[in-house]
Structure 1
Amino acid sequence: MNSPDIYNPPELQFCFALVNNSCPRNMRSMLSVCTMYIVMIGAIVMTMLGNLVVIISIAHFKQLQHPTNFLILSMATTDFLLSCVVMPFSMVRSIESCWYFGDLFCKVHSCCDIMLCTTSIFHLCFISVDRYYAVCDPLHYVIKITIPVIEVFLLISWSIPIFFAFGLVFSELNLIGTEDFVAAIDCTGLCILIFNKLWGVLASFIAFFLPGTVMVGIYVHIFTVARKHARQIGMVLSRDKLESKATKTLSIVMGVFVYPFINFTTPEDLYNVFLWLGYFNSTFNPIIYGMFYPWFRKALRMIVTGTIFHPDSSTLNLFLSGEGTSNKKKLCRMAY
């Protein structure tokens, strides 16, 4: 018996072979399918674990529990939910070009996709506001950015995307005027989100252009002010270094998020590339924290080694360069 050619796809197949009006499957070689599954599953697992480390770190260590990190904690929760609820099903759809999970879950999945991505950029927008006060108005930072203010930021970051995504998709306002097009492409196994011209513009404005413009404007102003202060003072204090590093780090996070939105009308495979670049932002965030924040690396070591299960481990110092010895002494006291 001849072995199948893994490099050449077979003849046309359908998502549901026994169902009338089934959508055709995207025919790929076995090698391509395996490679895509390996890459995407790897990204999903890294996104889950990386953001889970951020969540556990900020929730466990008292030293990390301040206003900025509560925003980061909430954003990591958003990215973690994306890896659990959205990415696995999008993976199957992207590779197979088929939706096997039913019409109702198609709507729920689309809602969660829009909601979580919009929530992420709202978080980034409010984090840029936090950075603005930390760098440009440090004397008033502690009275401007308080826990009640952060609670308002979080309420807006979650409530608006939830109402926007679920309200739009389940009301089907986005389909008004596209009925003929929808009827023409309708088939069993299709799960795509279609926007008419009005809601295409409004959705892009609400979910991307408005918060994105605010972020870009704020970060441009921050860096302008930072350079001006550096020239005037001639040196940068240690606090300024920390704030500058935080601002640069979150600017990189924002840039990774913004990049996939540079193209909207693309062929299916290219669209999937941009879609997954957007998802990969949720994967990259913990990696960026790991590169720029020593506290993240220390927290990761403590989580992996089980140190966080020791009594009073939540009070350990994650910041000072010389805290290693005192932490070791404290751990020895915990062990005995």
Structure 2
Amino acid sequence: MQYCYPLDNSSCNRNLRPKFEYIIMYLFFLSVSVCTVILNLLVIISISHFKQLHTPTNLLILSMAVADMIVGLFVMPLEGIRLIETCWYFGDVFCVSFPVVLFVVVSASLGNIVFISVDRYIAVSDPLHYTFKVTLHKATFCISITWLCSSVYSVCMLHNHIFYAETRSTCHGECRLVISFIWVVIDVFVSLLAPCLIVIVLYLRIYCVAKYQVKVINSVTVSTKLGGNGHTLKKSERKAAKTLGITVVIYLLCWMPYYILTLSLEKITSLSLLETFLRWFMYLNSCMNPIIYALNYPWFKISAKLILNLKIFEKSSSYLNLFTDEM
């Protein structure tokens, strides 16, 4: 045990660890952070560079990847160093901005998931009018609204933390976040119950529609008007809905334990050991999404290879065909 700032009488205590423990923890958190940034950066570059991927659905996925990359680039390193050193060495400005950025990207990710669910529902239930109902401009508008509302909501929720310095620390070298139980209840409803209810209802509808379409497809022959192209379209849309459904399930599994904890306590502090563990469990979700895309989207595997081989710097590379026959 020593002080975070040895020459400061108001300094917090700093817990000392064995040297090998420092090395292991730094390597672990660095690896997770770097993997999260690189994997999401591959998604961002893929969708931004290749023209074939400029669709409303992929634009929403791009927005999610940006939020996940911010978690790996900003949230994970600061949180990891604080956890290892047990002191806050980044000053008051970062102490204020850190939880704000965290809550904004988390809320934005959830908003994107809701809009993705709506997008998939329209694509599966009304494919003939999908291109008219869902456009790039509408998707861009939805993304803008999501990030704006997330920012406003986060500032309101963290009002005391932002504007009242005495709530952030009791000694020099501490940065704690204390959320009142009232805001915990509000956040559970806004960030978990309401969005999850919308997503679950939509995916139940998607499942029913997809199941009905399978029956219709199986009841017709190749010579009907539906033809091979119609079958391919339906298969592609169902596969996309299934992939994004997996994304939603993983998201809920990562986030629900944290919200269950918040309801079991009168207030949540960022210094709680259990709360710290569950927060890091949530952060790992930002690293899982690109892995889900890699396992289910052939275009992501192809685009990732092209990016890593620096093929994107070749002339007209943005017009390359990323889709295979099995899609």
Please indicate the TM-score interval, normalised by the length of the shorter structure: 0.7 to 0.9
Which residue number corresponds to residue 327 of structure 1? none
For residues 30 and 215 of structure 1, the distance between their equivalents in structure 2, rounded to whole angstroms, comes to 46
1:209-253 Cα offsets, whole Å, 9 max, x none, are 222221122112212332233245437922222222211211222
Specify whether residues 239 and 28 from structure 1 end up closer, same or farther in structure 2 by C-alpha distance, changes over 3 A only.
Answer: farther
Q: Among residues 255, 273, 287, which one is paired with 2:249 in the alignment?
A: 255
Q: Among residues 174, 181, 187, which one is paired with 1:203 in the alignment?
A: 187
Deviation of 1:174 (Å): 9.1
For residues 29 and 251 of structure 1, the distance between their equivalents in structure 2, rounded to whole angstroms, comes to 43
Which residue number corresponds to residue 172 of structure 1? 160
Which residue number corresponds to residue 242 of structure 1? 236
Which residue number corresponds to residue 130 of structure 1? 119
Deviation of 1:173 (Å): 7.8
1:249-296 Cα offsets, whole Å, 9 max, x none, are 112222222223323259833322211121111111111111111111
For residues 325 and 212 of structure 2, the distance between their equivalents in structure 1, rounded to whole angstroms, comes to 29
Asked if 1:213 corresponds to 2:202, the answer is: no
- Give SS of 2:178's match: coil
Which residue number corresponds to residue 187 of structure 1? 171
Specify whether residues 173 and 62 from structure 1 end up closer, same or farther in structure 2 by C-alpha distance, changes over 3 A only.
Answer: same
Which residue number corresponds to residue 223 of structure 2? none
- Give SS of 2:8's match: coil
Higher mean C-alpha deviation, range 246-255 or range 220-229: 220-229
Higher mean C-alpha deviation, range 48-57 or range 32-41: 32-41
For residues 172 and 204 of structure 1, the distance between their equivalents in structure 2, rounded to whole angstroms, comes to 19
Number of residue-to-residue matches in the alignment? 306
Question: Given residue 302 of structure 2, which amino acid in structure 1 is its aligned partner?
Answer: K
For residues 52 and 173 of structure 1, the distance between their equivalents in structure 2, rounded to whole angstroms, comes to 31
Q: Among residues 131, 142, 145, which one is paired with 1:142 in the alignment?
A: 131
CA contact (8 A) 1:174 1:195 kept: no
Which residue number corresponds to residue 278 of structure 1? 282
For residues 87 and 16 of structure 1, the distance between their equivalents in structure 2, rounded to whole angstroms, comes to 23
Deviation of 1:175 (Å): 9.3
Q: Where does 1:13-24 land on structure 2 (aligned, <5 Å)? A: 13-24=2-13
Question: Given residue 189 of structure 2, which amino acid in structure 1 is its aligned partner?
Answer: F
Asked if 1:297 corresponds to 2:301, the answer is: yes
Asked if 1:288 corresponds to 2:292, the answer is: yes
Deviation of 1:303 (Å): 0.8
Gap regions ≥5 residues in structure 1: 1-11, 323-336
CA contact (8 A) 1:98 1:189 kept: yes
TM-score by length of 1: 0.83
For residues 173 and 240 of structure 1, the distance between their equivalents in structure 2, rounded to whole angstroms, comes to 49
Which residue number corresponds to residue 230 of structure 1? 214
For residues 78 and 111 of structure 1, the distance between their equivalents in structure 2, rounded to whole angstroms, comes to 13
Amino-acid identity (%): 37
Which residue number corresponds to residue 87 of structure 1? 76
Deviation of 1:125 (Å): 0.9
Deviation of 1:203 (Å): 2.4
For residues 163 and 304 of structure 1, the distance between their equivalents in structure 2, rounded to whole angstroms, comes to 38
Question: Given residue 253 of structure 2, which amino acid in structure 1 is its aligned partner?
Answer: Y
Asked if 1:312 corresponds to 2:316, the answer is: yes
Which residue number corresponds to residue 265 of structure 2? none
Which residue number corresponds to residue 224 of structure 2? none
Deviation of 1:32 (Å): 3.2
TM-score by length of 2: 0.85
Deviation of 1:68 (Å): 0.6
Q: Among residues 43, 49, 56, which one is paired with 1:54 in the alignment?
A: 43
- Give SS of 1:172's match: helix
Gap regions ≥5 residues in structure 2: 220-229, 263-267
For residues 244 and 233 of structure 1, the distance between their equivalents in structure 2, rounded to whole angstroms, comes to 13
- Give SS of 1:190's match: coil
Question: Given residue 212 of structure 1, which amino acid in structure 2 is its aligned partner?
Answer: C
CA contact (8 A) 1:175 1:195 kept: no
For residues 315 and 83 of structure 1, the distance between their equivalents in structure 2, rounded to whole angstroms, comes to 30
1:148-189 Cα offsets, whole Å, 9 max, x none, are 3212211221001111223443x328999xx8xx59x72222
For residues 46 and 78 of structure 1, the distance between their equivalents in structure 2, rounded to whole angstroms, comes to 15
